[in-house]
Structure 1
Amino acid sequence: MIEVEIKLPIDNKENVEADLKRLGFIKSSLVCEEDIYFDNDAGQIRKNGEALRVRKVTDLLANQTDVVITYKGKKMDQISMSRKELETGVADAEICTQIFESLGFRVILPKVKKTRQEYTFDQMTACIDQVQDLGDFFELEMVITEDKNKDDALGQIEKMLQRLGYSLKDTTRNSYLSMLQHVEDE
């Protein structure tokens, strides 16, 4: 699967929420996400522009928690956060962390914690994230199965972004982890 995604900081999430509603987006899940990132001792995962994480997702409405392991490949362009993403569920975040550490991976600090309100419109997902120690961010994303559809999906996202009063120039390609560490992504 390929996640075609843009992200930008926002000053007023209530205005963005109102604009999403006006454009036909429907409020869906409200979750708390806690991410633990890993790398090997040489730092190769990060140096390669990739990511490996364990994410605990708590549905705040259903009070249910799920855990997933995610691998994110290198970014596919110089504009967006688009990249290959492989994800699967696991039963226990702590045991998964112990397995990774036993295999020689180390935890990369800080942990990334955020509250995420999701909205859906057709094949597009909008997320308003309140990231601990960073502030509010807005993401638009589409999931595609073939690389050849990436430019079309990014075009749709760019048009929606413009309808919301933003442009690709307003976006960032830095991950929340990099922002918290005050470093630039590769």
Structure 2
Amino acid sequence: MIEVEVKGYADDGVFERVREKFELIRKEYHEDTYFRHPCRDFAETDEALRIRVKRFDGHFEAFLTYKGPKMDTNSKTRKEIEVPISDPDRHAEILRSLGFEEVLTIEKTREKYYVDKGIVIDLDDVEGLGKFVEVECLTERSDIVEETVKKLREILESLGVKKFERRSYLELAMGKEV
């Protein structure tokens, strides 16, 4: 699966325009723990491996996610492989036993909104980084990535987003620490 994603910096005005224009799906709390590979540098290969724990409406979900290198220069579009897991602590223990090391945990509050068939907008308030808005679409077709990126970018621009960001929250957080 390919995750076509465009992200921008947001403020209260952008958050309000999204809330007024689109239908709330749900509010979630995320803890994303990223891992370092024992034999290759994900920073150099532009890959990521994480365990995400989502909490919403009194429920809990967890996923092990691999994200491949970004596929273009205008967005955060990547191959993504995500599988549900039932015990994130035990999965983290397996990864550590195989030589993977925890790098960082990113915590955020996310509001998910329905835009159109297959398109959602996320309002993210990321601990230590601030407010962002992401619009994304999942596809199996690499031939539509460019036109999809353009469409997603136009959606964000119509909401008042002026500054876009290709780096992941992990990359942003690691940059802040340097």
TM-score, normalised via structure 2 length = 0.92
Query: 2:89, 2:112 → 1: CA distance?
Result: 26
Query: 1:5, 1:181 → 2: CA distance?
Result: 21
Q: Which residue of 1 aligns with 2:136?
A: 141
Percent identity between the two aligned chains:
32
What is the identity, as a one-letter code, of the residue corresponding to 1:152? Answer: E
Q: CA offset at residue 17 of structure 1? A: 3.3
Q: SS of the residue aligned with 1:182? A: helix
2:67 to 39, 60, 72: 72
Query: 1:53, 1:67 → 2: CA distance?
Result: 10
1:91 to 64, 74, 86: 86
Query: 1:172, 1:142 → 2: CA distance?
Result: 17
Query: 2:102, 2:26 → 1: CA distance?
Result: 28
Where has structure 1 moved over 3 Å in runs of 4 or more? none
What is the identity, as a one-letter code, of the residue corresponding to 1:157? Answer: L
Query: 1:94, 1:18 → 2: CA distance?
Result: 36
1:113 to 76, 84, 107: 107
Q: Unpaired segments of 5 or more residues in structure 1?
A: none
Contact 1:7–1:137 (CA<8 Å) still a contact in 2?
Answer: yes
Q: Considering only aligned residues, what root-mean-square deviation do their CA atoms show, in Å?
A: 1.5
2:14 to 7, 12, 16: 16
Query: 1:5, 1:91 → 2: CA distance?
Result: 27
Query: 1:159, 1:132 → 2: CA distance?
Result: 27
Q: Which residue of 2 aligns with 1:161?
A: 156
Q: SS of the residue aligned with 2:73? A: coil
What is the identity, as a one-letter code, of the residue corresponding to 2:76? Answer: M
1:52 equivalenced with 2:49 (yes/no): yes
Q: Unpaired segments of 5 or more residues in structure 2?
A: none
Q: Which residue of 2 aligns with 1:171?
A: 164
What is the identity, as a one-letter code, of the residue corresponding to 1:66? Answer: E
Greater CA drift, 81-90 or 172-181 = 172-181
Contact 1:29–1:118 (CA<8 Å) still a contact in 2?
Answer: yes
Contact 2:9–2:161 (CA<8 Å) still a contact in 1?
Answer: no
What is the identity, as a one-letter code, of the residue corresponding to 1:9? Answer: Y
Per-residue Cα deviation, 1:87-129 (whole angstroms, up to 9, x for no partner): 01011111000000111111112x1000000101113111111
What is the identity, as a one-letter code, of the residue corresponding to 1:57? Answer: K
What is the identity, as a one-letter code, of the residue corresponding to 2:10? Answer: I
Over 3 Å counting, the alpha-carbon distance change for 1:11 and 1:21 in structure 2 is closer
Per-residue Cα deviation, 1:18-38 (whole angstroms, up to 9, x for no partner): 322454x21111100001111
Query: 2:20, 2:106 → 1: CA distance?
Result: 31
Q: SS of the residue aligned with 1:162? A: helix
Contact 1:39–1:46 (CA<8 Å) still a contact in 2?
Answer: no
Aligned length: 175
